[in-house]
Amino acid sequence: MPQNLKRFSFTRRTATAMLLGAAAATALPGMGMAQEQVTLQAIFLPATWGVVVRDVLAPQYEKETGVKVDVQLVGRDAIHEKMATLFAAQDPSFDIFNLDYSWIPEFGAGGHLLPLDDLLSEDDKADLFKTALEVGSWNGTLYGLPQTIHPHVLWYRADLYADPEVQAAYKAKTGSDLAPPTTMAEWLQQAAYFNGTQYEGQTIYGWAAQAAKGFGNVHTWLTFLYGYGGSAFNEDFSASTLSTPEAIAATKQWAEMMKYMPPGSSAFTYDDVTTSAQQGTVATALQWSWGAFAVDDPASSKTVGDWQFVEVPAVEAGGQSHPHLASWVISVSKYSKHADEAKKFTAWLETKANDVLQASLGGGDPVRASSYSDPTLTEAKLEGSDVLRFRRYDVVLKAMQNTKPRPFFPGEEAWETVVSGPLQAIQLGEKSVEDGLAEADAAVDRLLSR
């Protein structure tokens, strides 16, 4: 075959192949419509429940349904920023968001979240904690399906409290028997006693709790405020009520307690409290119930099995505490292009079986009351020990009966930022309780006027 003819033949074959390719490419999208794999984009907190969703549940869901869920783990403040900017632009890039419940009023009122009421049967509604559903709702519509709840509970070092030598020394010094505190006065006395003492070769401090400026110190202080019967706002959220006798008494107790935390505690975050508990450098801690999994992890903790949990002490003997509630919910973006699929995945994540599975993998405390009696959880023990893994559950159930959420209104995120500064001035002794709270009142009222 002449050379130029060969070249012509090759060119013709190439052109034909390209034409066929182009035709196939044009036809395929139409043919593939029915089988197109949906990929949901989700943002979760990089806490254990977010990791469990990314590493275990999302892959399992894809196996079961063919729907891929791409989970990104993003820090708390970054989630809030991302949601605000994506929603402002009505951007459909993400379908599912993991929310701190305090953002529900903000984004619910803005109309950026899809109602999820239709995902729940009557049985579901009866089984899910009422408070958890309330903080996932705004104006009677459910916008966030609860994924985890964790009220404040009091942690105490059971080995320390049970040590006869420690008990005797405590009795000699205070005249009281050493037992987990049931009142704020007892807790203060114990924190003051233990602060700076030596135990098993290391210095221990009275207690640890979140105290960093931003939201940490506010979250801890709220448990004191609620315990003393205080409230941050009047009923319609039109005025700050931080200078009431209850708020002043609560803040005085909180500020007094702050003296018995480890050095550098004014910057303590959730992680710092966990580390202190893991290292055994504190006698007690006010921490989220869920965080207990970390102290039972032999890879990072020196105090595996040593911590026990009781309700937050009440103001007076026989009284009732009102611990501050933390909870994370799952919401679907109104701008999602796969809203139905996103809602299905959200509902699937919180079925009874998955509620238990998530908890068993350390992914937060269950949101269904029935999960707290599931043998998978109640009978689970720490490896090589008789200590129950989820020994905190009785206390969590009690705490859930009296827990209170953060001020539930659209400006909560800004509110806690504003209140945090004056509270830190009080905790560092730079301002008196009265002056600090008056300043906080003025700052909040100013915020409301904006």
Partner 1 sequence: MPDSTATLTRGAVHRSGRGGWSWFARRYGAILPMAPGMLFLVVMSIYPTIYSLVISLFRWNLSDPTRMRFGGWHNFGLLLTDVTFWNAVGVTFKFVLIAVSLELILGLAIALLFFQRFPGDRFLRALLILPMVVAPVVVGLLSRYMLNVQFGIITFLTEALGLGRIDFFGEPNLALGTLIVIDIWQWTPFMFLIMLAALQGVPEDIIEAAKVDGARPVRIFFDHILHLIRYPVAVAVALRLIDAFRVYDIIFMTTRGGPIDVTQTLSWQIYDAGFKSLDIGYAAAYSWLMLIIVVATVTLVLRLLLNEQASR
User: How far apart are CB 212 and partner 1 at their closest, in Å?
Assistant: 7
Q: Dihedrals φ, ψ of 391, to 5°? A: -65, -10
Query: Is residue 339 part of the contact set for partner 1 (CB under 8 A)?
Result: no
Give 288's strand partners.
152
| Residue from the set 88, 179, 239, 317 that interacts with partner 1 by CB under 8 A | 88
| Residue from the set 1, 33, 140, 450 that interacts with partner 1 by CB under 8 A | 450
CA distance linking residue 429 with residue 258, whole number of Å: 10
Query: Is residue 196 part of the contact set for partner 1 (CB under 8 A)?
Result: no
Q: What angle do CA 87, 104, 93 make, to 5 degrees?
A: 30
* Residues numbered 344-403 forming contacts with partner 1, rule: CB under 8 A: none
Query: Is residue 125 part of the contact set for partner 1 (CB under 8 A)?
Result: no
In the chain, what is the greatest distance between 2 CA atoms, to the nearest angstrom? 113
* Residues numbered 248-267 forming contacts with partner 1, rule: CB under 8 A: 262-267
- For residues 323 and 223, the answer to whether their CB atoms sit within 8 Å is yes
Q: Which stretch binds partner 1 (CB under 8 A): 93-101, 106-114, 131-139, 298-306?
A: 106-114
* Residues numbered 207-236 forming contacts with partner 1, rule: CB under 8 A: 212-214
| Residue from the set 208, 315, 410, 433 that interacts with partner 1 by CB under 8 A | 410
Tokens 């500020």, located at residue: 255
Q: Which is nearer to partner 1, 85 or 376 (CB)?
A: 85
Q: Which stretch binds partner 1 (CB under 8 A): 16-24, 140-148, 242-250, 439-447?
A: 439-447
Q: What is the sign, positive or negative, of the torsion defined by CA atoms of 132, 136, 141, 143?
A: negative
User: How far apart are CB 187 and partner 1 at their closest, in Å?
Assistant: 23
- Helix (H, G, I), strand (E, B), or coil: what is residue 17? helix
Query: Is residue 430 part of the contact set for partner 1 (CB under 8 A)?
Result: yes
Query: Is residue 319 part of the contact set for partner 1 (CB under 8 A)?
Result: no
Q: What is the sign, positive or negative, of the torsion defined by CA atoms of 136, 126, 292, 47?
A: negative
Total residues at interface with partner 1 (CB under 8 A): 40
Helix H segments across 150-261? Answer: 158-162, 164-174, 184-194, 216-227, 245-257
CA distance linking residue 144 with residue 263, whole number of Å: 38
User: How far apart are CB 300 and partner 1 at their closest, in Å?
Assistant: 14
Q: Which stretch binds partner 1 (CB under 8 A): 24-32, 64-72, 79-87, 162-170?
A: 79-87
Q: Which stretch binds partner 1 (CB under 8 A): 36-44, 108-116, 130-138, 310-318?
A: 108-116
Query: Is residue 425 part of the contact set for partner 1 (CB under 8 A)?
Result: yes
The residue count for the chain: 450
Q: Which of 183, 119, 149 is nearest to 351 (CA)?
A: 119
- Helix (H, G, I), strand (E, B), or coil: what is residue 379? coil
| Residue from the set 413, 432, 438, 448 that interacts with partner 1 by CB under 8 A | 413
CA distance linking residue 256 with residue 152, whole number of Å: 19
Applying CB under 8 A, the residues found at the interface with partner 1 are 77, 80-81, 84-85, 87-88, 106-107, 109-112, 212-214, 262-267, 272, 275, 410-411, 413-414, 417, 421-422, 424-425, 428, 430, 443, 446-447, 449-450
